[in-house]
Structure 1
């Protein structure tokens, strides 16, 4: 609810805490930290331990025991090269909401003032609390807020000191970067750059952090503008090399696929590699050159040159082994090995990839993303129970992870456990209501169990987030088909085919519509396209039905035999193999 005054209205639960959300004085988690401190003294040790990561991120002053840790918690700051993804703060918000839910002894209210000046991550937490913690009434005030009068004092880190110099700005920027608070990184960093002397250590650390933060926020043009300005202020080869690498990654990973430019990215990363090769210190060169070679490997992989990408990563690993002291730069080494695993998957060396991921997880068992990667690989290898165990572990060792539950649901659905799959998708979408892939899968599952209204709601929501998403359009086609509106179903499948011509399920849906209306040749054509894209037994079975209807029995029999070989336990395929079509009976 929203009010215009910082006084809780009558009838709401007792006031637990009042927080000023102004980021200028309290930082990115100004409001959330107040709520954490209010609940912490009465929370049970088990509830605190279950959400230790989230509490340490939000309120580092609290005496939270280290329960779930990663390698990054133990290595020097300079070796913490992993930058949290933009979704990290949503995961923290969800974990914190579950802490609040479990720590609340009775219904309560939480008054948030200064909301107009709140950091986006604090606003995110308020949104999640409102959506997920029914026992807490959040009262938000100052939605627009007065215009600031003159320069405001600026929060400078967990110490609470305002930013007064480049060293303080750098400390605050690095603190925010480690927590994935990219908006704060950019805002504090830009103020810090106005205070820093160009080409100093503090200046450089801030430049790099702000450029990376802008990229994470999908503001690539601003990031590149900052890098151009910084290039004009330094002749340091290591800094120039890092900026070249950063420009290459901005072009490679641009949020707008139409603006990705792999050739320009290759040019930039080659400049970085050339400069790194000139660095005199062997360990320093091993890290920086290996990092750039790893970036080039990503570009080459996206250019379809997996062999060259593999050679680059292997060379970077060899460089680290030769020139780094034993035990140094452990995260750098793990990143290289994890990336080699992904490349091995690309070239079909699944066992080699598994060996790499086993070693990576053994070295850093608290890092959840590697479990998801290994779970995906185990699923490819047919080891579904092991894959499920990895997905569940990923969800346990870090803040709530929607992707892990989405992956569990895919395995559950494939096994016929619709109830379990639906429960996993429900929780994934509770964590991230805009998770488009999960919306598409849940819509399809709900359609299969004839819950058409819920399925349509998921499709409508998903298309509002991602208009033209082909998977959602396929789900819409299935819904319209089930509702008996063939015209609207065909229109949805047509849009899906136009948007993503390589999507087998779209061709299959259109083909079955044609089959049901008696247009057998159109059905054979569309189902044939689906089979070309995916040799899945269900698609082969459906094309066999259409081929039989056209009197093409030899081809139909071949499709059924292939389908049976792929799925010998399917009763419909087995029955069809033993049937004699009517026009072949004596």
Structure 2
């Protein structure tokens, strides 16, 4: 382990003797082959949960049960979404890859409170750990103080025996991995299951569907595409072909690189899925599949810039869902939330709020809908109601960086700078790659004349995104305040090159030009900023530059505008 605890260091082999090191438990073998996800995490929880206070265990029930399902009898489910009790065909949501980071943060918080101070966790075979364990060990290293728990990770270790498990043994593991969002393991174990089943048979199809979905969720688009093609070659079942067409369409519609999304090809595939679904003989299966696929086409329409067409498709899917009775509640929840999003986009906030509320009523333990409704409420100026929804989202599941980020924005608008800074600090602690949190915190710190702290955030953010225009804008502001006008100009010029419509960059360059003695240039830049965003501080700054040029009447008009819009 290096002295920098912000990154995990995988060393060679463990020392022959541990000397005075106080090991929390015997050296853990992290190799993913025998157990899969959370090999280390589950062993750590098995060691700590039995002696932890019941209220602490209850506070992290989701995280503990996800990482160590064998502890379920000791950890009653306190927070549970409705899909936990649904049959397989009704569990349609696949957790995003970021869910494992949320779980890791929750486990780290539990460990921080439960572990005896001065402990050491030693792990071998770190180079072969499942990504869930790699992520967890990194979060533990970053979030649990070294005086509480030191984490030592070694690359080498004994090689476990080959995985000889039959398909019937692999299937429940793959199914669990998909339900929990352990996508790397789902893909790896699913490929083993495919190798041990006959192409085209029912078990093979179940492995194929899970594996292709996991690959797509991981951004491994070509591998997912190849597997969907294999499915089409191996099966003549219309349900399978409809599902493969939908899965292939979503690879384009949801491609992680927007520039590589082929929405025309996605439309062709989703139309095939819809055509097949409309011919299915079972009326309930037809209603569900057809509505599901139309919802997929709605996403394509939305990304084509046609929200009204997307809304019509979602509404037709909701009508079909009415034929399902009490079945497929998650499907109905998703459709209502999607319609709410589209209604809000099209200027119908009242109806959107009604749909979000109806979606929440279906599953009050699902955090995402609270977050979305909170954003709508915030946009409507209903800050107390939005705050309540953000905090409900925080309580509903493992630590959610987006909820803290959104609450920080709300607190900023209300002038609660200390609370906003605290929330942004939480976001960065939970997810050091959350770039917008650095941007916003740097801006708040700079506005509070805490320039050294602001510069640290700008530096950290630019290390992750060297040409981020928002960070460059704050850097330009800081360099101007420090009297380094040449460096300020370079930062602001690059910001405007990357984001010509960024009002803050124009405004800050106007301030720089005034400070450098170029009042005419300052007025020009500030005028452009005002065109883009009529903020009171922009009018006030332009008034100062206008007065320096002797344009008193214009300066007074800007001062009046600044007062009125404040």
TM-score, normalization by structure 1: 0.89
Q: 1:137 aligns with which of 112, 137, 149?
A: 149
- Give the Å deviation of 1:169: 2.7
* Structure 2 equivalent of residue 286 of structure 1: 287
* SS class of match (2:123): strand
Partner of 2:503: 504
Mark the CA change 1:302 to 1:141 in structure 2 (over 3 Å): closer, same or farther: closer
Distance 1:351 1:552, change over 3 A: farther
2:58 aligned residue: 49
- 8 Å Cα contact 1:6-1:113 kept in structure 2: no
Contact kept? 2:367, 2:394, Cα under 8 Å: yes
Alignment partners' CA distance in 1, 2:360 and 2:264:
34
1:376 is matched with 375
**Are positions 1:389 and 2:388 aligned together?**
yes
Alpha-carbon contact 1:241-1:272 (below 8 Å) kept: yes
SS of structure 2 residue aligned to 1:232: helix
- Tell me, what secondary structure is at the counterpart of 2:305? coil
Change (3 A) 1:352 1:532: farther
Equivalent residue for 2:49, pick from 40, 44, 52: 40
Distance (Å, rounded) in 1 between the aligned partners of 2:211 and 2:488: 47
Equivalent residue pairs, number = 554
SS in 2 for 1:311: helix
Go from structure 1 to structure 2 and tell me whether the alpha carbon gap of 1:557 and 1:18 turns closer, same or farther (over 3 Å shift): same
Q: 2:130 aligns with which of 95, 113, 119?
A: 119
- The answer on whether the counterparts of 2:439 and 2:457 sit within 8 Å (CA) in structure 1 is yes
Q: How does 1:539-558 map to 2 (within 5 A)?
A: 539-547=538-546, 549=548
Give CA-to-partner distance per residue, 1:451-494, whole Å, 9 cap, x none: 33332232222222223222222222222222221222222122
Distance, in Å, in 2 between the alignment partners of 1:544 and 1:27 is 64
Q: Deviations over 1:47-105 (max 9, x none)?
A: 01000000000110112101011111222222111111111000000000111111124
How many angstroms apart in 1 are the aligned matches of 2:25 and 2:302? Answer: 53
| 2:119 matches 1:108 | yes
Which residue of 81, 100, 103 maps to 1:89?
A: 100
Change (3 A) 1:505 1:374: same
1:68 aligns with 2:79: yes
Please state whether the residue corresponding to 1:535 is helix, strand or coil.
coil
Structure 1 contact 20–112 (Cα < 8 Å) conserved: yes
Name the structure 2 match of 1:360. Answer: 359
Are 2:27 and 2:122, in contact at CA under 8 Å, matched by a contact in 1?
yes
* CA distance 1:266–1:496, change in 2 (3 Å): farther
Q: Match for residue 8 of structure 2?
A: none
Contact 1:17 1:109 in 2 (8 A): no
Alpha-carbon displacement from aligned partner over 1:203-261 (angstroms, at most 9, x marks no partner): 22222222221222222222222222222222322222222222222212222222122
Q: Report the Cα distance in structure 1 between the residues aligned to 2:16 and 2:352, rounded to whole angstroms.
A: 58
- Provide the secondary structure at the position in 1 that maps to 2:120: strand
- Listed as ranges, the gaps of 5+ residues in structure 1 are 155-161, 568-586
Mapped partners of 1:481, 1:247: distance in 2: 51
Distance 1:530 1:203 in 2: 59
Distance 2:389 2:176 in 1: 30
Partner of residue 4, structure 2: none
* Distance in 1 of aligned mates of 2:17 and 2:388: 46
Whether the 8 Å CA contact 2:29–2:157 is kept in 1: the answer is no
Q: Distance between the aligned counterparts of 1:97 and 1:233, measured in 2?
A: 44
Is 1:400 matched with 2:399? Answer: yes
Task: Identify which range, 400-409 or 452-461, moves more after superposition.
Answer: 452-461
